[in-house]
Amino acid sequence: MAGSDQLHRFTFENFGIRGEIVALGASWQAVVQRHDYAPPVRDYLGQALVAATLLSGTIKFNGSLILQIQGDGPLRTLVAQATNQRMIRGMALAKGEVPDGDLGAACGSGRMVLTAESPRGERYQGIVAVDGDSLARVIEAYFNQSEQLSSRVWLAANGQVAAGLFLQRLPGEHVDDEDWRRVCLLADTLERGELLAVEPETLLRRLFHEEDLRLYEPEPVAFRCGCSRERIESTLKAMGREEVEGIVQERGSVEADCEFCNAHYHFDAVDVAALFAEQPLATTPPSQH
């Protein structure tokens, strides 16, 4: 799709409503191609990645936004992360057959956790129950209850594209209820097929052709995983030489897989010896008689 993998932000000139629209193409395919998710799991994850991308546009500092859903149903975990630089990654864990089209049934008794993190360690976290049949409704409930900001979300995903639209009243600005209702009614005419197939800027013109919109420069979105061999090495060092060498003796090597990008890391006895080469071997004190 033309215009995909870009976050488009916009505001309504005549009243305090902001919005964002995004369609993930290549960045979504980078996730899909690394995992063999069942279609319902894949689509829930696509919606979560879109939601994280949209919500990352509300972050006022350098850092990342993590959307996580945990439940006791067949869909156990969804994790989607988007940074202020629009780098995204995500993963899902499921057990058994996951029902399609009803997030509440898929998750069972669950909760959504939104975490905003800065590189300096600042963290803000909000939690809301997964009470609704879609991720869009859960996110709307979070903003309406926790942030007290009227918000609407539309999300869709398939095997090729994941897309979404976000509208929100601007905090601190008066918005006539009638204006808010009219904008939301216009957006409610949006069909799933349109959201997945039509280029974002064209879609905005279709939905709000009678409104005065200000479009901002689109921001590119890309898949990027934060894992690396160096990070795995740091984790192994933190475990300690004795424990890691014990794993090698028992299993022949240390294996690690990244759940986000499916990268595999292998450390044999030589790798482990080199990893701890600068650390002295533990010695047994001599017996005293």
Q: Would you list the DSSP string of 58-80?
A: T--SSSEEEEEEEESSSEEEEEE
Average pLDDT, the chain: 87
- The answer on pLDDT for 6 being more than 80 is yes
Are residue 214 and residue 72 in the same domain, yes or no? yes
- Alpha carbon 35 to its chain's center: 16
Is there a domain that residue 82 lies in?
A: yes
Are residue 70 and residue 124 in the same domain, yes or no? yes
pLDDT tier for residue 165 given thresholds of 50, 70 and 90: very high
Please tell me the predicted confidence (pLDDT) of residue 207.
Answer: 95
What is the per-residue pLDDT across 200-217, written as a single tens digit (0 to 9) for each?
Answer: 999 999 999 989 999 999
Is there a domain that residue 77 lies in?
A: yes
Is there a domain that residue 1 lies in?
A: no
pLDDT tier for residue 52 given thresholds of 50, 70 and 90: very high
What is the per-residue pLDDT across 71-127, written as a single tens digit (0 to 9) for each?
Answer: 999 999 999 999 988 999 999 999 999 999 899 999 999 999 999 887 777 788 889
List the one residue out of 88, 91, 70 whose CA is nearest residue 79: 91
Are residue 219 and residue 242 in the same domain, yes or no? no
CB 143 within 8 A of CB 112: no
> Residue 244 and residue 250: Cα distance in Å, rounded?
10
| Number of domains present in the structure of the chain | 2
pLDDT tier for residue 2 given thresholds of 50, 70 and 90: low
Please tell me the predicted confidence (pLDDT) of residue 181.
Answer: 93
Are residue 189 and residue 76 in the same domain, yes or no? yes
Higher pLDDT, 255 or 128: 128
Is there a domain that residue 109 lies in?
A: yes
- The answer on pLDDT for 226 being more than 50 is yes
Are residue 163 and residue 208 in the same domain, yes or no? yes
Are residue 233 and residue 106 in the same domain, yes or no? no
Please tell me the predicted confidence (pLDDT) of residue 152.
Answer: 96
pLDDT tier for residue 136 given thresholds of 50, 70 and 90: very high
- The answer on pLDDT for 259 being more than 80 is no
- The answer on pLDDT for 145 being more than 90 is no
What is the average pLDDT across 235-244? 81
- The answer on pLDDT for 285 being more than 80 is no
Which range of residues forms the domain containing residue 239? 229-275
Instruction: Give the domain CATH number at 209.
Output: 3.55.30.10
- The answer on pLDDT for 257 being more than 70 is yes
Please tell me the predicted confidence (pLDDT) of residue 282.
Answer: 47
Please tell me the predicted confidence (pLDDT) of residue 3.
Answer: 63
What is the average pLDDT across 26-55? 94
Is there a domain that residue 280 lies in?
A: no
Per-residue b/e over 142-177, b at no fewer than 16 CB within 10 Å? Answer: bbeeeeeebbbbbbbbbeebbbbbbbbbeeeeebee
Q: Give the CA radius of gyration of the chain.
A: 23
Are residue 142 and residue 249 in the same domain, yes or no? no
Please tell me the predicted confidence (pLDDT) of residue 288.
Answer: 47
Are residue 43 and residue 120 in the same domain, yes or no? yes
Is there a domain that residue 13 lies in?
A: yes
End-to-end CA distance of the chain: 80
- The answer on pLDDT for 1 being more than 60 is yes
- The answer on pLDDT for 287 being more than 50 is no
